[in-house]
A = this chain, B = another copy of it.
Amino acid sequence: MQKLIVGLEERSYPIFIGSNLLGCAELLLPYLTAGRAAVVTNTTVAPLYLESLRAKLHDHGVETIPVILPDGEQYKNSETLGAIYNALLSSRCERNTPLIALGGGVIGDMTGYAAATYLRGVPFIQIPTTLLAQVDSSVGGKTGINHPLGKNMIGAFYQPKAVLADIATLDTLADKELRAGIAEVIKYGLIRDLPFFEWLEQNVEKLLAKDGDALQYAVLRSCQNKSEVVAADERENGERALLNLGHTFGHAIETGMGYGTWLHGEAVAAGTIMAADLSCRLGWLRKEDVERIICLFKRVNLPVSAPAMGVEKFMQLMGLDKKMVNGKIRFVLLKRIGCAVVSGDVDPELLRQTLVLNSARG
């Protein structure tokens, strides 16, 4: 087992990474002193891990209240959030009752947001069970829900007390979900870690084959990258925005296609290629590097272009993205592989070319 600390002063917290950590629930006991906790999960994860987690915690004197939600990005909304509040209120959860998120990114984001806002804030713990959640969404304290007009439009920065990433839970992960998670892993290489990108070029098939050591290394290295960025810029006033590589295009795809149609990681993959394409048009990234990136995504069988939504719709959806300042869309772009920058000054004609070509390439 490995332990990383996200350094945020009095909000610092550990990330535990290893195999079969769900069997080591005692790692969580320091955060469960109230003797009660609510476990929020979904209909896919509950049959796999809920009862064994509850039994383990029960053995340590912690009683749990299960809250089981439907599975999918299309349920990351105010109605499902209301169902969490109702469950917490009817079980009389109090200010010191922690919420445990057991599931993927949707469960983590919604549970974290419920924890941030129930009784003006209760403690919470992340137990991510998808690769995407382990390498990205469970770390850093971004929580929230979607709005019909845009992804993650409603939310809060709210840090967990601890993250428990059990690599063994990836054994049951659907292949499509695994591939979507790898998109966010590649992201770290692209924005700030060329050696990791090169490692992925060498080892991505091991990840696809669910090799435990490779997965653990990829999760650890991703979390190291993420926690360094978050510790330097918790509330995304600067550097943290680089983690959104591919997300401005990606969010437009997710919102435009209807939440749940594309997995988040799939949309980020297509969005990353679009960002690379635009970086190339600006004269920053070399053509052969764009091809190198496309090649890696293709090996993972991730989409490398957007669906044909139409340029106008794309532009409109991106205009609603959070990454705007005074009406200008800010893009995360690549100077080279391993070095991302934020630019709020992209020639609209170049952007249009990227949209036209990438949503036609299919």
Which positions in A face B, CB cutoff 8 Å? 34-35, 78, 82, 85-86, 89-90, 92, 94-96, 116-121, 142, 144, 147, 149-150, 152-157, 235, 319-320, 322, 324-327
Contacts and interface: CB of A to CB of B under 8 A. Distances in A.
B320 A116 contact: no
Contacts of A116: 156
B157 A142 contact: no
B89 A157 contact: no
Contacts of A117: 117, 144, 154-156
Contacts of A95: 322, 324-325
A156 B95 CA distance: 13
Copies of this protein in the assembly total 2
A96 B324 CA distance: 9
Contacts of A155: 117, 119-120
Nearest to A96: B325
A118 B154 contact: yes
Contacts of A325: 94-96
A78 B322 CA distance: 22
Nearest to A82: B78
A319 B93 CA distance: 11
A150 B322 contact: no
Closest 7 CB pairs of A and B: A120-B155, A89-B149, A119-B322, A94-B324, A117-B154, A120-B157, A120-B156
A239 to B, nearest CB: 16
Contact of A142 (B120, B147, B324): B120
